[in-house]
Chains A and B, each alone.
Chain A
């Protein structure tokens, strides 16, 4: 019998709950030196190095790059508190918070202005790549925006999805996850068929209020009084991925504009 290697990892509560179930086979869908993703029960679950973006559907190791043995693993199993890749067990030893903080609905207009001021024109390049009508529809909170944006753009997380994820998570932060807004509903219905598995899972996380740390930091800053903290958080978020961070930022801007307009009428 071969000895198994154990790698400690940190993960959000939702990932822990997925891992806690009985052993299920999983299929490796992406391998890279900073991230390996598997498909388990129709959701995407990742194992990340410290260099990877800490998506909320993954276990985060403390390693600067994933060991080569993980990259050649043939078999993946999820369950019993671990993600098993080949002869390596990723075991969660620490729970990290990935949930968005509560943003006050009463102050949403001010929050919207503070974010817009911090972002300025730095998400415009993202806006230019997406259908303008869809973005305006999103501000209006109408479900037609969703099919126009889902899966639009290249990569594991298409740009349109990033905008939607930012929009959904921001709405959850203000209204709570129970809100059955048409957009949120449409995302849940269309995402599984219209975009990548990872992106669909991240949209699912966003509906639960789980986000990447840089986005969470931005919302925490928006919940506080310090404009400089918001500026810093926007700076950090815009650096995420190629356009992912900018997409999320734009999503938050549009969501707050949507909520502000609604609170006014």
Chain B
């Protein structure tokens, strides 16, 4: 029945016996109809006592009903179109489904939730350092190993993580772990090597890469390279992850020999690790950089000899083409911290003090200009130089700028650089570096100098960038290129006029 205006507008009340929809649907129908223009109020409801009361309170006059009836009650404005409003009621009632939402699952929001829903055996954490601990704990709580790429994780948190992992027989790789290989799977910056008898425990990313690439070149595969983070062999952390990693390698019957590679470690930690290693059934070699210690290439050679492999002639490209400088300084421009350390240790022994942004001793600290009237070596991968920009293995801009500057400096006798290939690194480093070397040499030549450039190119033939292709391109630009950083450094020292 449609009644004439009471106060204003039109009121329509209609009873539909036997029609049924649940109350939630009807609330939605009412809402939809009320939204039609000219409709002041709409109530479509089952005629329950409660609803009838509501309808009455809205000013609708109601005929007799039973709770199984549906009531359609509309209040229209003066110019309201009843037919349109009733059509809207029909439309809303007949609408079986609304537009379906996104059906696929939302991604998990925490490492823990993702692990609970997965048989993944490893978690990778690369969130900002401040938050990395929390995600890593999720992995340990779930009984899984974790690799933490993130840097700037407080050392106290690293200790908590590693202690907890040790209690549970789990492995924490990192924090600030740039390189790992697990069963041939490269994580972070890693080179593609074949499976083989050697397992590496690495507290140094580029040190590990150098070792892997040398062994690969000698035909010896590396099945696992477990990064433990640069601080693992510090006094505070005490080698917790190194022990667990060694234990894992020792238990793995395919590992014939393990190598621990690190930047200079805390002495007592090194000593206790050697003791621990002596109790394992797998022989463990230590490649711990330091004054008077063997370089990484020498370590690789001793590994090969322990495996009964012949000592190879390490690859080089264009070696011996440069002529010795006539005075001046050796300038090293590195992307790999350990490679820089190794070069400094060798250079200091041969040529004297080397200033650096990661100096061997505090008095050799290079200021932020990165310029000094001495031998200098800069690690462009150091945190202070990567703040706000990508790692130089990914973005070469800063180092290329410095190459031009160093080349223009008449006190530069020889430039020593590293190029690190593999997954994670820029897809074709020689594409930018070769022309830059060419320009640097031309620049020096224009001012009447010869500028020898020596490059250590760390990579394998299976790397996406392909070692020989990169090395040839760099040699083509006039650089002497070596697979071994130690050999490159030795050559640079020689060209600078050192005693070697």
Contact = CB atoms under 8 A, between A and B. Distances in A.
Contact of B192 (A93, A97, A224): A93
B254 A96 contact: no
A34 B223 CA distance: 27
B195 A101 contact: no
B199 to A, nearest CB: 12
A97 B223 contact: yes
B482 to A, nearest CB: 26
A224 B251 contact: yes
Contact residues on B (Cβ < 8 Å of other chain), bracket: 10 to 19
B194 A13 contact: yes
B253 A101 contact: yes
Contact of A94 (B192, B251, B253, B254): B192
B318 interface: no
Contacts of A181: none
Interface residues of A, number: 11
A220 interface: yes
B183 A96 contact: yes
A95 interface: yes
A220 B195 CA distance: 15
Given A13-B194, A94-B192, A95-B194, A101 B251 contact: no
Contacts of B183: 96-97
B253 A95 contact: no
A224 B281 CA distance: 12
Contacts of A10: 184
- Chain A interface secondary structure, helix, strand, loop or mixed? mixed
B253 A97 contact: no
Nearest to A216: B254
Nearest to B254: A101
Interface string A216-258: 0000100110000000000000000000000000000000000
Given A101-B254, A220-B253, A224-B253, A94 B185 contact: yes
Interface in B152-201: 183-186, 192-195
Interface in B195-227: 195, 223
Contact of A97 (B186, B251, B254, B462): B254
A40 to B, nearest CB: 22
Interface in A82-111: 93-97, 101
A21 B223 CA distance: 25
Contacts of B252: 220
Interface string A146-188: 0000000000000000000000000000000000000000000
Nearest 3 interchain pairs by C-beta: A97-B195, A223-B253, A94-B184
Given A94-B184, A101-B254, 16 more contacts: A10-B184, A13-B194, A93-B192, A94-B185, A94-B186, A95-B184, A95-B194, A95-B462, A96-B183, A97-B184, A97-B195, A220-B252, A220-B253, A220-B254, A224-B251, A224-B253
26 contacts: A10-B184, A13-B194, A13-B195, A93-B192, A94-B184, A94-B185, A94-B186, A95-B184, A95-B192, A95-B193, A95-B194, A95-B195, A95-B462, A96-B183, A96-B184, A96-B195, A97-B183, A97-B184, A97-B195, A97-B254, A101-B253, A220-B252, A220-B253, A220-B254, A223-B253, A224-B253
